[in-house]
Each structure stands twice: as structure tokens, then as C-alpha cells.
A and B are shown apart, each in its own frame.
Chain A
Amino acid sequence: MKINLKINGVWKEVEIDPSDYLLDVLRREGYLSVKKGCDTGTCGACTVLRDGYPILSCATLAATCDGHEITTAEGIADEMEDYAKMLAGEGAEQCGFCSPGLMVMLYALKKEIENGKVKKTKEDIRRYLIGNLCRCTGYAGQERAIFRYLGVE
């Protein structure tokens, strides 16, 4: 079947199988920032935005996204550069596999803080990012970097 996705601001007609998950479709279309970690909805490596909200692309059928807007890390390249420097500055990245998913979440988190849905406290930020697992860093560096970047004491 054919579906239409607005990926990073550009409408695309994509041929899919009804069983395809969004993660596989996006990777097939060349959006390689979207990572397959657990493929069970647990690790957050596959996070993308659908209509502005972060979702698990491994747990979302591509067909259900027909007509919707998808943003991957490639679509927020300027912010990604900032975030990458911020993480590297605190030694908060090792293999980097979890980073695109985490950064898409950070982008969404900033918006939620701006519109008052998430409080700018360590506890609330930790809860918001709980679904982004990292095998390498032990989280301390990531937390330090994100708290400093958001100005949370």
C-alpha cells in the first residue's frame, strides 16, 4: 500500500507493507538517525516526533501515520549540533547509539517546559527522559549535561 508522510517538512509518498513499523520505513527511506535498539518499546532509541509529540517508531505501525507529520533527528539538525556539543562537553557520550533518540526527546522536553506541561526540576526532567536507555554512560554524564544546558540547579 502507499502512504503519505510529511517527513522533516517534506511530503513523501512511500510504499509500505501493512505490517511495517514506522522505524523500518524511516530507515529504509534513509533516515538513519532512527535506531533500532530493543524493538519492543523499551529503550527509546527509535524516538521520533509525530505531529510534534515523541513516539516510539518501533511500536507504531507505519500505516497509522498516513497523513501525519514525522520529525527525525535529521529534521532538527541545528538543535542536534547544539545538543551534541553539550553532551560531548560533559563526556556524556560513548558509543552514541542512544543519542539521536535522547536528543529528539530533549527537543520535545524543551517545548513541554515552555508550554508549562513539564516543570523544570531535576525530578520532572528525569521522569520525562526515563524511556531513553543508555548502555554505556550510566546516565550521570547525560544528566549533568542536560541539567546544565537547561539551567536546572
Chain B
Amino acid sequence: MPLKILNYVRPSSLEQAYDLLQEDGAEILGGTTYARLSNRTIKLAIDLQNVGIGSIYEIGDYIVVGAMATLANMQFHDLIMEYADGYLYDVISYIWSVQLRNVATVGGTIVPKWGFSDFITALLALDTEVEFYKAGRMNLEDYLKGMMIKKDIMTALYIKKTPRKASFKFMRNSEYDFSIVNVAVSAVNQEGKFTNWRVAVGARPGVAALSYKAMEILNNSVDYESIEKAAKEMKNELKFSSDFRWSGEYRKEVAGTLLQRAVKEVIG
């Protein structure tokens, strides 16, 4: 049985949308590209297209991306194309097709915390925060580690414009498949010296997590030996498991290699 929707509403303010969401069986609609693959009944589907959370703009040191912006809106926005040499532009281009990215929303891609997500891993390697209407603003990492926030509305993604250089690597069985493991790495580039490393590993198959051990090693030195050591420590620190696609052991080994490649790409 496909997704069944009993009632559809298009509120005109966040407040109204939030109140409606508190009803039993009410759910938010993003682009519905993923929601449609499930077979459940939504009693009240709430479409956020008129509540004014679809734009992308700058506030102080941050790029703010409204949760209802599509992945394509984000990908082609000048602020995104310019930041970190277009790192996010490239990452988004790996998320299947132009047609999918014209529908899928930023909120719908972050809120469910899917393990396979390329987008979440890539964002976790930057200085990013998410904002919910009631729960407020929090680090993306805290959001990913915490309990699912239910009956709330994600309003925006905040990307701090720290001068980072970043690299994203993934392994897939074919270009058409989801990532079997993915790694994103970034560092602050201060006149050629790389500091403040962030190392995120996703599709383990659990949702992306930071490797603090790898980050500590790279923050001390970034030579050949320490890059190898960072990969080794990351493999000990993070949990890798098996699923129908790959074994946990294989994922772990590939993640180590991708990490080394990503760090080498950042330092150039």
C-alpha cells in the first residue's frame, strides 16, 4: 500500500503550521521524494511552501538556508557556489538527479537523519547548525546525536563562513546507488597552515559522526605518518556495521582510505 494522505493543508504562517502539527496523525511535507516510498497513512499533511522558510541569504558570518529551499535552490545559489570553492555545490550534485534535487528540500534531507545521507556527512564537516521553530538553534552534531525532535518544524540551516577547505569522498556500488560509506573532511586554511580539522564519516551505515581522535591527530600535525594514524584511530573510534550492501569490516577499511585521500586533497 502506498503512502496515503487523508487531508492536505497549506498554512500561511509557521505558527499556524506548528499548531496544526500538534494534531494527532499530522506530519510535515518536504518535497515528498522519500516520504512517498513508505506505506503509511498521514491524517493531516502540512505543506510549508507558503510559510516563508524557502530563501537563502547571509546574516553576519552565516549563510542561512531556509528548510523549504530545494537542494537545487541551494546548489545554484551564489553564496553556496562561492563558499569553500563550491564544496557543497559538488556534494549536492551527487544526490541523484536534477529532477530530484528540484523537489527534495533541505529540511526533508536533514530532519530524518538518514544514515546513507551524503548531505549530512558533508555538512557535519563544516561549522553548521540547524534551527527548529520551538526547539531553537543547535549544532548539527548535537541534533544528530540527540533524540529525534518530534512535532516540531525545522526552519533553517546555518553554515558559518569559516575559511575552510573541504573534501568529500564516497564509495558506491554504482553511480545510481546510495553511498556505502562516505567521508567529509575540512580544515581552516590560515595562509597555507591548516588548523581546526573536522572529520565526518557517514553511511557506516549509521548516521554521520565526527572522529575526535582523527581531528586531534591532524590538529597536531599533517604529515604522511599522521594522516595514516588519523585513519587508523578513526577506524578504532567509530562503529561500522554490516547490512545488505557491505560488511562493517569492509566499510571500515574503505573509510580509512577515503579519509586519507580527503585529507591529502585538502592540504593539496
Contacts and interface: CB of A to CB of B under 8 A. Distances in A.
Contacts of B8: 1, 18, 61, 63
Contact of B32 (A40, A59, A66): A59
A56 B93 contact: no
B236 interface: no
A128 interface: yes
B103 A40 contact: no
B32 A61 contact: yes
Contacts of B76: 117
Interface in A52-74: 53-56, 59-61, 63-64, 66
A152 interface: no
Contact of B31 (A47, A60, A108, A130): A60
A24 B76 CA distance: 30
A83 interface: no
Interface stretch (B94-102, B121-129, B164-172): B94-102
A66 B37 CA distance: 22
Contact of A44 (B29, B36, B97): B97
B33 interface: yes
Pick from B37, B93, B98 the residue with the most CB of A within 10 Å: B98
A66 B76 CA distance: 25
Interface string B98-115: 111011000000000000
Nearest to B93: A127
Nearest to A66: B10
A108 B99 CA distance: 10
